A = this chain, B = another copy of it.
Amino acid sequence: MSNRLPTLAVVGATGAVGSVMRDILTERPNVWGEIRLIASPRSAGKVLSVRGEDVTVQALAPEVFDGVDVAMFDVPDEVSKEWAPVAAARGAVAVDNSGAFRLDPDVPLVVPEVNADQVGNRPRGIIANPNCTTLSMIVAIGALHRAYGVKDLVVSSYQAASGSGQEGIDTLRDQTATVAAERNLGNEAGDVRAAVDELGPFPAPLAYNVVPWAGSLKDDGYSSEELKVRNESRKILGLPDLRVAATCVRVPVITTHALTVHATFDSEVPAEDARKLLANAEGVEVLDDPAKGEFPTPADVVGTDPTWVGRIRQSIDDPTSLDLFLCGDNLRKGAALNTAQIAEVVAREFTQD
């Protein structure tokens, strides 16, 4: 083994997730030698800060990966599809946060708290990072699965606008200003729709509304987001037959996804046992005392790293089921943080004896 600090490339360093990634690399214990920031030619030459150092952004090109040990990709699917293999061919381990490789059988889909052991199993030199909605629950579900064996998940999401990037954030802020300006909006059919003239990336107004759609239309009326929750949960947990029913709904929250999960296990799960187990699980925080008004909400969770779990109840009519409410920052654990954590697992290969 070599014993040097590995070189990291951050591809997509100027986007919404890339920006959070630079914060996370600055905050976390440093395991990197050189850090290169890569973006589209349009952003090349910009100087951005990471770890307190000024770094000049380079344009995406094959040569930028020469000498790179780990390359993180926070870019659209089609950019990852083309460029992650280029990075891998030049010797880098590509850690990709797009949907391009998540279900590729030769690409592990990794959540370090759940399946860090899969990191080395990467014949294509690519490791995939899950979708943000899956990531908002899977650390907690993985901990429960190890103890009780999960067999069925019913998931409903309360997804934040920033899941649709900066355009999503700006759209919700603009619409919120519009509905706030007119005191009586929201009482009559169509009045919010009439007042809001820019839908941005959403198929209906989001301010004073909830929209049961995220992603693109797939078979049988499912959205791509719903299929991701199902298929990625199965792969991460190593349960190809897990039953998953998901409905994804956008809500007027800037950042932090929330989810309700009805999870059914192989055996009975008393709520108090689940609460203790989750309180001791890596990457999970329990906030569950409704008598004191304690449960997680996006406004409290945004900007933090863990998966927050509250409203832990054993189902009244099925003692093998739990009903949970979970929150996770979709830009941190849901994207940049998990990518950074995967990259850190790879970095250990370079520095361990």
Contact = CB atoms under 8 A, between A and B. Distances in A.
Contact of A323 (B185, B245, B295, B321): B245
Interface stretch (A1-9, A42-50, A66-74, A187-195): A187-195
Contact of A311 (B221, B242, B251, B299): B221
**What interface size band does chain A fall in?**
35 or more
Contacts of A298: 208-210
Interface string A170-211: 000100110111010111111111000000000111011111
A311 B247 contact: yes
Contacts of A180: 173, 176-177, 179-181
A313 B221 contact: yes
A133 interface: no
A208 B252 contact: yes
A300 B193 contact: yes
A150 interface: no
A350 interface: no
Contact of A220 (B156, B244, B304, B316): B316
B189 A304 contact: yes
Contacts of A316: 220, 222, 230, 244-245
A183 B174 CA distance: 9
B293 A204 contact: yes
A243 interface: yes
A190 B254 contact: no
A189 B331 CA distance: 13
A103 interface: no
A156 B271 CA distance: 19
A156 B300 contact: no
Given A176-B180, A187-B254, A247-B262, 12 more contacts: A154-B262, A186-B302, A187-B303, A189-B301, A191-B299, A208-B298, A212-B311, A213-B293, A222-B316, A245-B262, A245-B315, A245-B321
16 contacts: A173-B180, A176-B180, A186-B253, A190-B299, A203-B293, A205-B297, A205-B299, A210-B251, A210-B298, A212-B258, A212-B297, A221-B311, A230-B316, A230-B317, A243-B318, A244-B316
Interface of A: 154, 156, 158, 173, 176-177, 179-181, 183, 185-193, 203-205, 207-213, 217, 220-223, 230, 242-247, 249, 251-255, 258, 260, 262, 271, 288, 290-291, 293, 295-304, 310-318, 321, 323, 325
